[in-house]
Every structure is written in C-alpha cells, then in structure tokens.
Amino acid sequence: MIKETNYDKVFQSQEHFRLIMDSMANPGKLNRLKADIHGISPLNNASILIGFALMNSDVTFFIQDHDEDITDYFIDNTSAKPASAEKADFLYLSGKKANIGAVEIAKEGSLEYPEKGAFLVLEAERISEQILEGSVELVLKGPGVNGSKKVFVLGVSPELLQIVSLKNKEYPLGVDTLLTDEEGQLLCLPRSNQFFMPNNLIKI
C-alpha cells in the first residue's frame, strides 16, 4: 500500500482542480500539475493528480489492463471504486497502447444527464504547442478557442483520437478527455469542442 501522506488533500487538490477547470474552459491551453508524491508506475504524476483532484468515494474508475497495484493505489488514496469500462466515471488509458474497445463503450451520458459521460485520462509522451516529430497535430475549434488552436501530441495513436472524436459527434453526449504527459502537462479536449487531425503523424 502506498499512502501519499505528503499530499495535501485540501489545498493541493483545490489548486489542481482549478488548473483542470482552467484547461477545460480553454481547450488547447497547457497547464502543469505538480506535487511531491511517490506515484505509481506506469502512470505519470499528472494523471495521478487528476485522480486526486476529481475522484472520491462517489465515483468509479477503470484502469487499463486491470492493473491491481494502480487500482489499490487509487482506492487507498481517493476512496473511489473500480468498475468496468462501460460503467466507470474515469478511464485511465495509455495513449500509445490504449484499449480502443474501452473507449468505444465508455459512458456518453444522456440528453437528460449529459454530465454522466466519462472522463478519459490519456497518457502521452509529450504535449507541445510546437511541432514535434512523430506527433499527431490537433486543430481545436469551439467554445473557449479563439478561432482555432494547434497542439501537437506525441505518443497517442491517431486511431484512438479518432474514436474520441466520434464519441463526441452528438453533443452534449460524449466524453471529456484529459491528456497528460511525462513532464506534468495537461491538455483538455472537452466534449463541447471539435478537433481535427490534418495529418496522421508529423514528419520533419
């Protein structure tokens, strides 16, 4: 059991909650989540901190490959409960090796309760506003974006991102996606926004 005793559940979780909400309100804006935690492999710390800020005993989560160590870690530190991909409020997935089937069956909410759609936490190698070789270029449009915004994501498969885009075709139904990277950066793709991939992979 890894209990994050150095993490302040009041002040740090509030700080990270505000950063997450800022990223959701401003798609394409990169924020950074930091804290002195032990963490647990293979999750990056930003993904973990999303869980600490948003998950509690009232929500459920799904971990790719049903990793028991990560499952126990989140239970111990958030009191959230594990669930299947189709029932979970939060799905934690590797961007490069993601279980696309889990994304396809993730909750999309209903017209009466669109907020019941799932949160996807996708781990990338790196997210940048600058061109990255081998990355996927995303062009974001919609609420919170002035015209359009380009971002580049390395280590997330185009096929996975295409599935996410398809999940959000019938707004307000859909999923909210939170991309994190190994440097602690956060990029949000809310269901209310559209994104396009002009090229599958950037070659320099």
In this structure, is residue 6 part of a structural domain?
A: no
* 19, HSE (Cβ side, Cα atoms, 13 Å): 22
Task: Give the pLDDT score at 204.
Answer: 47
**Per-residue model confidence as pLDDT tens digits over 69-115:** 999 999 999 999 999 999 999 999 998 887 899 999 999 999 999 99
Over residues 56-63, mean pLDDT: 98
Report how many helices (DSSP H) and strands (DSSP E) the chain contains, helices first: 5, 11
The CATH number that applies at residue 167 is 3.40.50.11310
Task: Give the pLDDT score at 41.
Answer: 94
In this structure, is residue 16 part of a structural domain?
A: yes
Helix/strand/coil for 61 = strand
**Per-residue model confidence as pLDDT tens digits over 140-199:** 999 999 999 999 999 999 999 999 999 999 999 999 999 999 999 999 999 999 999 987
Q: Could you tell me the pLDDT band of residue 200, with boundaries at 50, 70 and 90? A: low
Q: Which domain holds residue 15?
A: 11-126+158-193
In this structure, is residue 149 part of a structural domain?
A: no
In this structure, is residue 92 part of a structural domain?
A: yes
110/149 Cα distance (integer angstroms): 29
In this structure, is residue 113 part of a structural domain?
A: yes
Strand 119-123 to 176-180 pairing: parallel
Task: Give the pLDDT score at 98.
Answer: 75
Task: Give the pLDDT score at 199.
Answer: 73
* DSSP output for 92-155: EEESSS--HHHHHTS----SS-GGGSPEEEEE-SEEESS--TTPEEEEEESTT-SS-EEEEEES
- Residue 166 near residue 27, CB atoms below 8 Å: no
In this structure, is residue 143 part of a structural domain?
A: no
Task: Give the pLDDT score at 203.
Answer: 55
In this structure, is residue 136 part of a structural domain?
A: no
In this structure, is residue 198 part of a structural domain?
A: no
Task: Give the pLDDT score at 101.
Answer: 93
92/43 Cα distance (integer angstroms): 9
Domain count, the chain: 1
pTM: 0.95
